Amino acid sequence: MVSISVERPGQRDGVLALNRLAFEGDDEARIIEALTRDGLVVLSLVASDDDQVIGHILFSRLEVEMERRAIRAVALAPMAVHPDQQGKGIGSALVRRSLDLLAAHGVEAVLVVGHTGFYPRFGFSAALTRQIAGPFQGLEAFMGLELRAGALSGQGICRYPAAFGL
């Protein structure tokens, strides 16, 4: 049975291996390590089955100002589900559980650069990021979600930490 919980220290190797497998490369695993080293991880959730890590999602602190006021924002990146387990709802369950936890902790907004066929079902929208200056402004894949109504309204700017290597 698949269970979802906050990543435990002993699961890090499984998390990194899963990301290397799902993304067919090392970039995302390196980002996870860099974000952790820099103390920026806000939430890391793992989906496991029989102690095997089969899904993972990570959120990190992101500098976002809207109308010159800093808001509590996080970046969703990366997320991955084991290739043999995709399409079974595990990714969706990870996103939904995370959003509940983040809202309960007072996070106001989530930004993601990701699949336009996947994230809108959770409420992410490119319309909410059009006025946010930064490396991804104008991309359809750059989407935002408000956990506090109006959190992303107006003109804004976002700065990604060095861990993303932008």
Q: List residues near ligand COA by CB under 6 A.
A: 22-23, 78-81, 86-92, 114-115, 117-118
Q: How far is the CB of 137 from ligand COA (least distance, A)?
A: 18
Q: How far is the CB of 47 from ligand COA (least distance, A)?
A: 8
* Residue closest to ligand COA, measured at CB: 91
Identify each DSSP E strand in 13-165 by its residue range: 41-49, 52-66, 69-81, 109-113, 132-133, 142-146, 156-159
- Using the minimum distance from each CB to ligand COA, give the nearer residue, 66 or 81: 81
Residue tagged 């990870």 (tokens): 94
- Using the minimum distance from each CB to ligand COA, give the nearer residue, 53 or 66: 53
Q: Are 57 and 98 in contact (CB under 8 A)?
A: yes
Q: How far is the CB of 20 from ligand COA (least distance, A)?
A: 11
How far apart, in Å, are the Cα atoms of 26 and each of 18, 20, 31, 76?
A: 10, 5, 9, 18
- Using the minimum distance from each CB to ligand COA, give the nearer residue, 102 or 119: 119
Q: State the Cα–Cα distance between residues 152 and 127, nearest whole angstrom.
A: 10
